């Protein structure tokens, strides 16, 4: 009678001490590369990296670059107007 299925007393699931391990090869490669680069740069593994570029340096570079481009554009426009004016004077007044 012990072999008959029981509808009221269900069996408990068996439990094992299984802890799944996940191996991510890309993550391992990235961590190894980071350690290698930190050792090349001289950064100690426990310390955070402090960049040498200060906060406003990139903004200053962009402003200077825009100013330089603006000056070049204005100079180019002035030369084109000068050449066109000279060509018009030669065509109409000579």
Residue-level pLDDT at 4: 63
42-71: pLDDT as tens digits: 777 667 767 776 777 777 888 889 999 999
Q: Which domain holds residue 92?
A: 56-94
73-92 residues labelled b (16+ CB within 10 A) or e (exposed): eeeeeeeeeeeeeeeeeeee
Q: How far apart are CA 83 and CA 89, in angstroms?
A: 10
Of residues 90 and 14, more confidence is placed in 90
pLDDT band at 91 (very low <50, low <70, confident <90, very high): very high
- Residue 40: pLDDT band (50, 70, 90) is confident
- Tell me if 48 is assigned to some domain: no
The pLDDT of residue 86 is above 80: yes
Q: Does residue 34 lie within any of the structural domains?
A: no
pTM of the model: 0.38
Most confident of 5-9, 27-31, 58-62: 27-31
Answer yes or no: is 10 within a domain: no
In a domain, 3, yes or no: no
Whether residue 64 lies inside any domain: the answer is yes
User: Using one digit for the tens of pLDDT, what is the confidence trace for 72-81?
Assistant: 999 999 999 9
């Amino acid at each position: 009678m012990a072999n008959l299925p029981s509808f009221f007393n269900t069996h408990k699931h068996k439990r094992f001490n299984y802890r799944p391990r996940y191996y991510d090869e890309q993550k391992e490669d990235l961590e190894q590369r980071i350690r290698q680069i930190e050792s090349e740069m001289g950064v100690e593994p426990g310390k955070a990296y402090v960049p040498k570029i200060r906060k406003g340096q990139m903004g200053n570079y962009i402003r200077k670059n825009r100013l330089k481009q603006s000056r070049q554009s204005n100079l180019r426009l002035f030369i084109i107007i000068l050449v066109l004016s000279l060509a018009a004077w030669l065509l109409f007044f000579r």
